[in-house]
Amino acid sequence: MSFNNIINFHAHIYPENIAERATQSVSDGYGIKMDYNGTLEQLIEDGKKSGVTQFAVQSVAVTPKTVQSINNFIAKKCSENPDILFGLGTLHPDMENPEEEIERCISLGLKGIKLHPDSQRFLMDSDKAMRLYEMLEGRLPILMHCGDYRFQYSRPERLAKVLDAFPKLTVIAAHFGGWSLWDLALQYLENKNCYLDTSSSMMYLGQRRSKELIKAYGAERMLFGTDYPMWNSFDDIEMLEKMELSQNEYEMIFRKNALKVLNIEEESK
């Protein structure tokens, strides 16, 4: 079974002058050797090898002062490539006037927000973070990094509290809801109102456990993502294809759910 027009919902890109340095920093943080340099050019080339034609691109502001420049960069790349890119902005719980930046993200055409509690060093259920969610609820979806056995910031039980507090908040819990904490994530998130993505997980979980989690959560909640530049899309898609899911399940994971989250209606052909 072969698929085209796949959306990669989890792809980090960086300006060319800092891309290699930023990618190396991520590589060092997770102890993973990467084959890509974090530029948009290499992301597009990766997609051509595997049938990925569109990307939700993002970057994370590790300090409040970089929020605006990152959002400007993402918006600029999307305006230059409107047929293939959807942009996710960034915020930081310690920034001043987040309401104004949310409005600016919307005016720039950005379709959502990316938060990374571990890199940004905030507890997912802290008061400052909760205020951000209140501002975003019903307005923009959040792609949220979730899980890391080394930290307390983004544990699945914290996300469960957030989802209970903001029932109309749209959250995509990255990495099957909890990188390195996948079973704990299932315990807390199986019946919660959130989406999940496949990024940075299947190579650790293996094909059998990955399929079990997709079935447990439901394909209608899953989005395909690679966490570029960490992983290549070909290997992840190949593993998914070997799971022998239904045509409808693949369509939801590879495209339909992403369009729904981004509130984009696809033109009928």
For residue range 56-77, what is the model confidence (pLDDT) as tens digits? 999 999 999 999 999 999 999 9
**What confidence category does residue 265 fall into, taking pLDDT thresholds of 50, 70 and 90?**
confident
Q: With contact defined as beta carbons under 8 Å apart, do 80 and 57 qualify?
A: no
CATH of the domain at 155: 3.20.20.140
Is 127 a domain residue?
yes
Is 267 a domain residue?
no
Cβ partners under 8 Å of residue 65, min gap 6: none
Residue 37 burial class via C-beta count within 10 angstroms: exposed 0-12, middle 13-18, buried 19 and up: middle
Phi, psi of 55 (to 5 degrees): -145, 135
Is 268 a domain residue?
no
pTM here is: 0.96
Is 132 a domain residue?
yes
pLDDT value at residue 267: 65
159 has pLDDT over 90: yes
Residue ranges making up the domain that contains 58: 6-261
Average pLDDT score over residue span 25-54 = 92
| Separation of first and last alpha carbons in the chain | 22
**What confidence category does residue 269 fall into, taking pLDDT thresholds of 50, 70 and 90?**
very low
Domain count, the chain: 1
For residue range 183-196, what is the model confidence (pLDDT) as tens digits? 999 999 999 999 99
pLDDT value at residue 2: 67
Q: How many CB atoms lie within 10 A of CB 8?
A: 28
Phi, psi of 173 (to 5 degrees): -80, 110
**Residue 66 DSSP symbol:** G
Is 179 a domain residue?
yes
Cα separation, 95 vs 63, whole angstroms: 8
**What confidence category does residue 36 fall into, taking pLDDT thresholds of 50, 70 and 90?**
very high
Is 90 a domain residue?
yes
Cα separation, 86 vs 76, whole angstroms: 11
Q: Is 56 helix (H, G, I), strand (E, B) or coil?
A: strand
- Strand intervals (E) in the chain: 6-12, 52-58, 85-90, 112-115, 142-144, 171-173, 195-197, 222-223
Is 98 a domain residue?
yes
Is 63 a domain residue?
yes
Q: Minimal CA–CA distance to 53: which of 124, 3, 128, 91?
A: 3
For residue range 84-131, what is the model confidence (pLDDT) as tens digits? 999 999 999 999 999 999 999 999 999 999 999 999 999 999 999 999
Cβ partners under 8 Å of residue 97, min gap 6: none
**What confidence category does residue 22 fall into, taking pLDDT thresholds of 50, 70 and 90?**
confident
- Give me the sheet containing 6-12, strands edge to edge: 6-12, 52-58, 85-90, 112-115, 142-144, 171-173, 195-197, 222-223
